Chains A and B, each alone.
Chain A
Amino acid sequence: MPARPEQNASVRPLPWRRMIWVTWRQHRFALTGVAVLLGGLAVYVWLVGRQLHHAYALASACHPAGSPVCSVLASSFQSMDVQLSNGFVWQPLPALIGAFIGAPLLARELETGTFRYAWTQGFGRRRWTLAKLVLLATTVTAAAAAFSVLLSWYYQPYFTAGNQGRFLTALSPLASGLFDLRGVVFAAWTLAAFAIGALAGVLIRRVVPAIVATLVAYAGLALAAATFLRQHYLTALVTKNVDVPGTALVLSQWWTKGSQFAFGRAPITLLQRICPPPPPKAGPGNFSKSDFVGQCLSRHGYTQLTSYQPASRFWSFQLIEGSWLLALSLLLIGVTIWLVHRRTA
């Protein structure tokens, strides 16, 4: 039986666009799920946000602030959607998107053995992986970016300057739950979750354990970023001014005496000695206990210092966090592709 004639030993690689259909067809279930989820949430946010913005417009336009009429409007604004106001309810979204799109990408191929089909087709193992990773990463990042624009619009009333003066809620845009919903960071975290998921998938080779590992790793990273890293992106400002703006992110406060560190919080024994509580009927107006202690300690030569990050640094922080997340994602994706190249059956 005659063998087939020799063919050209060097072949040109197949065009990348073929992978668009391949990726869509294989992952349409997960992608549609994410689209439905985000779409549903978007509708919810838009409906609730319209109410919020309406209430805020009424409350902020009311003059004079503090009058009974305006107080009613203010409190109705304050009480809206309290559970959303700290932003923590949105935190799992990037993790879920990344874990459920990124982890099964390679884990399912390895678990079910279909990689023995996919990686022996003419397209080539590395190019196949790269195409899928890039296409899916771009898709989830774009979807997350769009959703975070909506979230930014929703939370915008809380960040307007002058809220404190009108007795309206003022939140810091740098606060943990809120910072990573807006700007570029939400999309960057989604991308990072996807990259973690893809790497977990190729290392663990089983879908469910890879998803779990992705969620755990993401949670650890997000926690570390929120509690340790974010505060130190730029050197914190220190001020003696007690009136730190409400939109700033306060890091810590402490007392000094004669430019030496005295204590973080005033010890009870000291307070009892030099600042005994006043009689109940002394002093006019709204005198909070901390104001009284503060004035008393100042009279004794103590100065309170506050370190904080001002709200004006929001975009700098966004770019810093976005950059290292992007770099991390690219690194993880690169390692994933390298492992696919090296991985044996």
Chain B
Amino acid sequence: MEIDKPVSKPSGAEPSRLDAGSGEGSPAVAGSAIEFRLDPSSGVPTYLQLVQQVEHALRLGYLKPGDQLPKVRDAVASLVINPNTVLKAYRNLEAKGLAAGRPGQGTFITATLSQAGLPELTGLRRALSGWVVSADAAGLDDSAIVALFTSVLRDFRERHDGSAGRPDTADGGEAERVA
């Protein structure tokens, strides 16, 4: 079966160039600061990945209040996902107060996530690096380190929030995740 020749004139709906990694991507589309990326093997529902990517971009400073999120049709065209998935992600962000839709224009960021200031981040990073060095010296490999960290984080959250469900990951009838 012959492979089609590449699209000659892209206009918003580009074909994917399959990356070597596990996700898919496409070049930036004018009008939005960020581009979505899917990791099909992560097990996380698609809409949740989109929500998490927006929150992550907010934390890292890629997105500021007033920035426009990708249009639904652009996200659909590049990721080849159901439009309702994108809408659900945006509704989720609206419910958290992070974004708001403007009719006829798109969805825009309205708030930021509270985050540690830049000096705190630097100090945290240095402390974490020291810990990783210790763990590596004790003979733990990458997945052991990640498992240890995730388990400690989970215990901390359970003690801290006092409930089994976390507001970020549970939505409706989702079952618990096991580290």
Partners in one complex: yes
* CA–CA, A206 and B45, complex, Å: 50
In Å, the complex CA distance between A1 and B83 comes to 7
Task: Collect the chain B residues with CB atoms within 8 Å of residue A1's CB.
Answer: 83-84, 87
Residue numbers of A with Cβ under 8 A of B are 1
Of the A-B pairs whose beta carbons lie under 8 Å apart in the complex, a sample of 3, sorted by A's number, is: A1-B83, A1-B84, A1-B87
Point out the residues of chain A lying under 8 angstroms from B83, CB to CB.
1
Residue of B nearest to A1 (CB): B83
**In the complex, how many residue pairs between chain A and chain B have their CB atoms under 8 Å apart?**
3
Q: Chain A's interface: helix, strand, loop or mixed, by majority?
A: loop
- By beta carbon, the residue of chain A nearest B72 is A1
B30-89 interface with A by 8 A CB criterion: 83-84, 87
Question: For the complex, what is the distance from the CA of A25 to the CA of B83, rounded to whole Å?
Answer: 39
Determine how close the nearest CB of chain A comes to the CB of B46; give it in whole angstroms: 15
Residues in A neighbouring B84, C-beta threshold 8 A: 1
Q: Which residues of A contact B87 (CB under 8 A)?
A: 1
Instruction: Please give the number of chain B residues whose Cβ is less than 8 angstroms from any Cβ of chain A in the complex.
Output: 3
Residues of B within 8 A of A (CB): 83-84, 87
Complex: how many Å from CA A336 to CA B75?
Answer: 50
The distance in angstroms between the C-alpha atoms of A321 and B87, with both chains bound, is: 72
CB distance from B104 to the nearest CB of A (A): 13
| Nearest CB of A to B79, in Å | 15
CA gap between A1 and B84 in the complex, in Å: 6
> A1 vs B86: C-alpha distance in the bound complex, in angstroms?
10
A228 to B90, CA, bound (A): 83
A258 to chain B, nearest CB (A): 90
Bound CA span A85–B71, Å: 80
Smallest CB–CB gap between B85 and chain A, Å?
A: 10
Q: How many whole Å from B80's CB to the nearest CB in chain A?
A: 15
CA distance A68 to B119 in the complex (A): 134
State how many angstroms separate the Cβ of A3 from the closest Cβ of chain B. Answer: 12
Roughly how many angstroms separate A292 CA and B136 CA in the complex, as a whole number? 134
Complex CA–CA separation, A1 to B87 (angstroms):
7
Q: Shortest beta-carbon distance, B86 to chain A, in Å?
A: 9
B137, chain A: closest CB distance, angstroms: 54
| Minimum distance in angstroms from B77 CB to a CB of chain A | 14
Docked Cα-Cα span, A1 to B90, in Å, equals: 12
Q: How far does the Cβ of B103 sit from chain A's closest Cβ, in whole Å?
A: 12
Question: CA–CA, A143 to B87, complex, Å?
Answer: 62
Q: Whole-angstrom distance between the alpha carbons of A282 and B168 in the complex?
A: 132
| Alpha-carbon gap, A1 to B76, bound state (A) | 12
Q: How far is the CB of A2 from chain B (nearest CB, A)?
A: 10
Chain A: minimal CB distance from B122 (Å)? 44
The 3 closest A-B pairs by CB, nearest first: A1-B83, A1-B84, A1-B87
How near does chain A come to B150, taking the closest CB pair, in angstroms?
A: 36
The CA-CA distance from A124 to B170 in the complex, in Å, is 50
- B86: nearest residue on chain A (CB-CB)? A1
- Give the docked Cα–Cα distance between A233 and B83 (Å): 73
**A1 to B72, alpha carbons, bound, how many Å?**
10
